[in-house]
Structure 1
Amino acid sequence: MKIDRRKVLGLLGLSGAAAGEAVAQPINWYKGPVAFEHGVASGDPGTTYAIFWTRVTPKQQPAGDIEVQLDVAADPDFKTIVASSRTLRAKASADWTVKHDLDGQGLKPATEYFYRFKANGVTSPVGRTRTLPAGKTQDVVLAVTSCSLHPNGYFNAYDAIAKLDRVDAVLHLGDYIYEYGGGPKDYGMNSPVAKARVPEPIHEIVSLADYRARHAQYKTDPALQAAHARAPWIVVWDDHETANDSWIGGAENHDPKTEGDWAARKAAALKAYYEWMPIREAAAGTLPEAAWRDFQFGDVASLLMVETRLTGRTQELDYDVDLPMVDGKPDLAAFTAKWKDPAHRMMGEKQEQWLAGQVGASTKAGTAWQVLGNQVVMARVAPPSLSKTMGQEAFQGLLAKLPDYAKKRVALSDAMSAHDIPSNLDAWDGYPADRQRVYDILTAAQARPIVLAGDSHMFWVNELWNDAGDKRVAVEFGATSVTSPGYGDILPGVPLGEAFVQRNKEVKYAHPSAKGYLLLTLEHGKATGELIAVSTIVDTKYEASVLKRFVVTPASGGGVEALKEG
């Protein structure tokens, strides 16, 4: 039976109403014992507002809605309370999460505030948030992160972010949770710490209850709680918040025969995401997938968070299917026709129009930088040639040590490096016509763009050039994962990063195994990206250090100058 997508969204309550809202009529409140087991968070800040989030856990069942109070103060001791919302509602129908959009209640631009929640005589931990600056601004500091696979390691990168002396906002570019189960062969379960971090529920998540439980488990992590309490977060999903390699009509890790209708699963995943994350609810009359939105950091930066999974993306190509062999040789012409087809989309037209409008308005206003908060790597990245980087003798020695499945993949990648085709068809490189449309938008507006990317589990520093190869359009910083394994974990000690740089004009630096986050400092005359690595993810005792530092300067007439290591 075909399920109507809009009816599914309605049944699951995705109507655009906030989870925490002022109460209009008397309610039979739950008055029993409660706890704040999942910390506090803030997000989607503006100059005079922010979203404030928590989850109130009832300790007795059955439990109805819970009355909640939010206090926002100018000091950590709450001696000067600047705003108070006394009757918020943690709804049972929203998994007892409460999310309040505080606007027009005395908050000032570029100001740090402290907040807490109270319910049934219990007080939550205290969080810190910061409103966005307005007008003339000296600088902006952003921590950029992605890809946190719970069983694969401890969230030390989040802990390091929580300990920063200054961070104006945390950008999470997706894969905040993972959908996989906790079986012996499931993703990340071969980690030395997996037994202490078994996914909940232990099976792959499909239903609304499953997605809620997985979000709840993540938010019990002390490092993640600390990072949420440190600063406002600006988030967007990638694929694992629903299912691996998701697109508008399905996902690689979704089998309709055994896991039901994709629209129903997606709606459940998004409902849980909006409940459990400090993100502004979708506007009334719009679908929740349309999560693109903008943030203005004074005259220093316009941050444009794009959505590249669920609103416009067509199904990615597959080399096994879309690169046929003719007389034992790959039919590159047939593949290229599909690969470069303008109908092969990453974004929909509506989002593209929104992006053009935002970029144009930002440059006309004289904003120093246009920053794209984006899920996947945008640079051209052809498969690396390890045989050239290592030498044939060392390369053959590597192959001899690998299991058969890995040997086949590494040998195939090396052979494919002779062709100008993508190493990752799920990234922007798999959608070149759409990427060029984005470049055209940036170039037409004479923007000074910095692209941020997650997903790849690697650090990247890239220069982005147009299709003609005659104009440097932007610089890209790719944030590595918090814990999710990268190529360097699978092939330890192999010079993959060097091989990527040697093979690809646009790749200036790549580190395939480091875990950590990106610290981006934006000023009028330069932007500095610091790749912060943590020393381990299999022990909670770690050290954080700057792996590399790169400086970008704007070019006259739009675009950017060449990267410089600084």
Structure 2
Amino acid sequence: MDIKPPRRTFIRQMAASTALLGASAAGLGGCTSTASGLGDGVAAGFRHGVASGDPLNDRVILWTRVTPARTGDVVVRWQMATDPAMQQVIAHGSVVAAEDRDYTVKVDAAGLLPGHVYYYQFAVDSEKSVVGRTKTLPRADVRQVRLAVFSCANYPAGYFNVYADAARQNDIDAALHIGDYIYEYESTGYACGNAETLGRVSEPRELLLRVDDYRRRYAQYRSDPDLQAVHAAMPFIAVWDDHEFADDTWRDGSVDHKDGKYGPFALRKQAALTAYHEWMPIRVPDMSAPDKIYRSFDFGGVVSLHMLDTRLIGRDQQLMMSSYYDEHKHFDVEKYKQDVCSPRRQMIGHEQMAWLEGQVSRSNARWQMLGQQVLMARMEYPTAVVMGECNRSDFSALKKRAAADPSCVNDKEKRWLSGATLPCYLDSWDGYQADREQVFEMMRKHRKNLVVLAGDTHNAWASDLHDAQGRQVGVEFATASVSSPGMEGAYPDRDPEDVANMMVDLIEPLYYAQTSKRGYMVITASHEQVRCDWRFVDTVFNHEFTAATERSLRVLAGPGNRRIEECQAA
């Protein structure tokens, strides 16, 4: 029995610029993708749009890519203004777009005022880019912070309507992209069933291995008008997950990568790193260590946002449940529990853990927010389900039956109900429990209000976070995907709401699940609470779509709170 196939099979494991000035799309409304009109009037020299990222209170990264008319370096002019018409220019300069950086350019525009909106534009000769909008971080005098959170955007799986909806929001301070910004598969790979019909066949068509492969894939994604629109509308703060490299990446390899077939993984990792830093508006904390991207952002006295790398720099190789069966098909539960809790197993590495402790201990912000890739909450199944004695649906029904009439439960069912739970998604923090306990103890020791943001699974979740002693530590809000399919494919004949309820029944700390829709989260943080609004689109297979906020939950600050509560939708 192998419960460690490629990471995308979490679903099977757990289930077996118009945008700058557009109206807000809050509530339910009919929408049209920007795909039909964003490119009108855009100069051929800037076919991949503009972007900004990694804002601080006095600076922000500005990004674009030049499509050159000929080979050789290209001088690119840039300017920033306080108005979208670019009349009140407050900064300008020039930068070289070079072939060895794939003609991408970055400007670390400094000398800005905190908490201010700015506009920016690039030019080559007479060709001009679209105008982008960005915003610096505030200082202490801020009432609230609004963040959009994205994950898992698979180009062949559907249109980026989620990005189109987010681009129309006019009150977002920054967007967080917490991984799987691109996917590395060949054109016949994962979630490509509708790609021909949608006109979204992956390029290049081969598996990404070399730097030019990754560059071409980023170029295809960044040619998407909806992705261009959301980048032009707000600054991005991004970290990678595995698919920016290869499926289930860890420090020295990947579940899909075979050195004998594809060459050394180190070369592939370096190629992916190079393309990522070229194409993403990210400020590298240490130029000598491009794989070191963990960094913090302070939104006044409200939020200290710590962007973690749970994927590449410190992660040990994932465990596999299949290795705990002997020749008689007996599962060694005790050895399994011992290994997933081993202090020798690292998720983020000693250096990053020490850095996080320093950031948390020095922060005076009301909320410590972790922007990271994989689920930190305990997503453990009852042992009877993990061992195949009882399926998920039957166990969920059994719990309801036992609650209604305990006398109708037989001895075997009582044993199932009273049994322990086991982690089975070992690519998440469940497979690295010592590191998770260290993070939880850090937050308890420094008496912090903790909110964890996660992606990776293509489904939406909300969970209370408890340490190994069962003490409440904080909450986790996890976003659905931009386009990658969720659990709906595993239960094609079942009401998605029933599937979501089944998951909540099975997993003790899980408070909310949405397992069939594509969407994103809007996080609103104030001194009193952090609220999460889950927004979903009704389709990714048509440029005409509707979007709505379908669920809202919150957490209050303070040691007597720090747990999920209900709140009305916005």
TM-score norm. by structure 1 comes to 0.85
Comparing both chains, which one has the higher relative contact order based on Cα–Cα distances under 8 Å and sequence gaps of 6 or more?
A: 2
**CA distance in 1 between partners of 2:129 and 2:490 (Å):** 41
User: Is residue 2:457 matched to residue 1:450?
Assistant: no
Question: What is the CA distance between 1:423 and its match in structure 2?
Answer: 3.1
User: Is residue 2:517 matched to residue 1:510?
Assistant: no
**CA distance in 1 between partners of 2:417 and 2:154 (Å):** 30
Aligned to 2:389: none
Aligned runs of 1:123-522 on 2, under 5 Å?
123-183=128-188, 186-191=189-194, 196-285=199-288, 287-321=289-323, 323-325=324-326, 327-362=328-363, 365=364, 367-383=365-381, 385-389=392-396, 419-469=420-470, 471-492=471-492, 493=494, 495-522=498-525
**Given residue 340 of structure 1, which amino acid in structure 2 is its aligned partner?**
C
Task: Give structure 1 stretches of 5+ with no counterpart.
Answer: 1-32, 393-414
Deviations 1:131-154 (A, max 9, x none): 000012100000001000100000
Task: Give structure 2 stretches of 5+ with no counterpart.
Answer: 1-42, 386-391, 400-415
**CA distance in 2 between partners of 1:260 and 1:192 (Å):** 29
Deviations 1:157-194 (A, max 9, x none): 000110002100000000000000112xx101113665
**CA distance in 2 between partners of 1:327 and 1:259 (Å):** 36
**Given residue 308 of structure 2, which amino acid in structure 1 is its aligned partner?**
V
**CA distance in 2 between partners of 1:303 and 1:453 (Å):** 13
**CA distance in 1 between partners of 2:128 and 2:293 (Å):** 32
Aligned to 2:26: none
**CA distance in 1 between partners of 2:398 and 2:354 (Å):** 48
Among 20, 29, 52, the residue aligned to 2:62: 52
**CA distance in 2 between partners of 1:110 and 1:505 (Å):** 41
**Given residue 532 of structure 2, which amino acid in structure 1 is its aligned partner?**
G
Question: What is the CA distance between 1:424 and its match in structure 2?
Answer: 1.0
**CA distance in 2 between partners of 1:448 and 1:315 (Å):** 31
Question: What is the CA distance between 1:103 and its match in structure 2?
Answer: 1.4
User: Is residue 2:118 matched to residue 1:113?
Assistant: yes
**Could you say what secondary structure the match of 1:435 adopts?**
helix
User: Is residue 2:73 matched to residue 1:65?
Assistant: yes
**Could you say what secondary structure the match of 2:447 adopts?**
coil
Aligned to 2:23: none
**Could you say what secondary structure the match of 1:148 adopts?**
coil
**CA distance in 1 between partners of 2:285 and 2:213 (Å):** 22
**CA distance in 1 between partners of 2:488 and 2:432 (Å):** 25
> CA 1:325–1:84 in 2, change beyond 3 Å: closer, same or farther?
same
Question: What is the CA distance between 1:391 and its match in structure 2?
Answer: 6.8
**CA distance in 2 between partners of 1:356 and 1:417 (Å):** 37
Among 556, 559, 569, the residue aligned to 1:556: 559
Question: What is the CA distance between 1:335 and its match in structure 2?
Answer: 1.5
> CA 1:336–1:202 in 2, change beyond 3 Å: closer, same or farther?
same
Q: Is contact 2:285–2:295 with CA below 8 Å preserved after alignment?
A: no
Deviations 1:62-117 (A, max 9, x none): x11100011100001111001101x211111100000111112xx11111111100
**Given residue 257 of structure 1, which amino acid in structure 2 is its aligned partner?**
G
Q: Is contact 1:380–1:506 with CA below 8 Å preserved after alignment?
A: yes
**CA distance in 1 between partners of 2:552 and 2:196 (Å):** 31
Deviations 1:394-425 (A, max 9, x none): xxxxxxxxxxxxxxxxxxxxx99965212311
Aligned to 1:82: 90
**CA distance in 1 between partners of 2:503 and 2:216 (Å):** 39
Deviations 1:202-230 (A, max 9, x none): 11110000000000000000000000000
> CA 1:99–1:332 in 2, change beyond 3 Å: closer, same or farther?
same
**CA distance in 2 between partners of 1:78 and 1:551 (Å):** 39
**Given residue 299 of structure 1, which amino acid in structure 2 is its aligned partner?**
G
**Given residue 306 of structure 1, which amino acid in structure 2 is its aligned partner?**
L
Among 69, 79, 103, the residue aligned to 2:110: 103
User: Is residue 2:48 matched to residue 1:38?
Assistant: yes
**CA distance in 1 between partners of 2:166 and 2:436 (Å):** 31
Percent identity at matched positions? Answer: 39
**CA distance in 1 between partners of 2:249 and 2:263 (Å):** 15
Question: What is the CA distance between 1:331 and its match in structure 2?
Answer: 1.5
Question: What is the CA distance between 1:327 and its match in structure 2?
Answer: 4.0
Q: Is contact 1:188–1:194 with CA below 8 Å preserved after alignment?
A: no
CA RMSD of aligned residues (A): 1.8
**CA distance in 2 between partners of 1:230 and 1:57 (Å):** 22
**Could you say what secondary structure the match of 1:533 adopts?**
strand
**CA distance in 1 between partners of 2:393 and 2:505 (Å):** 10
**CA distance in 2 between partners of 1:561 and 1:507 (Å):** 12
**Could you say what secondary structure the match of 2:549 adopts?**
strand
**CA distance in 2 between partners of 1:299 and 1:254 (Å):** 44
Question: What is the CA distance between 1:497 and its match in structure 2?
Answer: 1.7
Question: What is the CA distance between 1:325 and its match in structure 2?
Answer: 3.9
Number of aligned residue pairs: give it. Answer: 498
> CA 1:536–1:34 in 2, change beyond 3 Å: closer, same or farther?
closer
**Could you say what secondary structure the match of 1:330 adopts?**
coil
> CA 1:417–1:482 in 2, change beyond 3 Å: closer, same or farther?
farther
**CA distance in 1 between partners of 2:50 and 2:178 (Å):** 20
Question: What is the CA distance between 1:292 and its match in structure 2?
Answer: 0.3
Question: What is the CA distance between 1:390 and its match in structure 2?
Answer: 5.1
**CA distance in 2 between partners of 1:416 and 1:424 (Å):** 21
**Could you say what secondary structure the match of 2:458 adopts?**
coil
**Could you say what secondary structure the match of 1:329 adopts?**
coil
> CA 1:153–1:480 in 2, change beyond 3 Å: closer, same or farther?
same
User: Segments of 4+ in structure 1 off by > 3 A?
Assistant: 192-195, 325-329, 415-419
Aligned to 1:407: none
**CA distance in 1 between partners of 2:195 and 2:68 (Å):** 34
> CA 1:281–1:150 in 2, change beyond 3 Å: closer, same or farther?
same
**Could you say what secondary structure the match of 1:182 adopts?**
coil
**CA distance in 2 between partners of 1:203 and 1:490 (Å):** 27
Question: What is the CA distance between 1:539 and its match in structure 2?
Answer: 0.6
> CA 1:193–1:519 in 2, change beyond 3 Å: closer, same or farther?
farther
Among 99, 115, 123, the residue aligned to 1:92: 99
TM-score norm. by structure 2 comes to 0.85
Aligned to 2:402: none
**CA distance in 1 between partners of 2:526 and 2:134 (Å):** 21
**CA distance in 2 between partners of 1:389 and 1:194 (Å):** 38
> CA 1:539–1:233 in 2, change beyond 3 Å: closer, same or farther?
same
Aligned to 1:539: 542
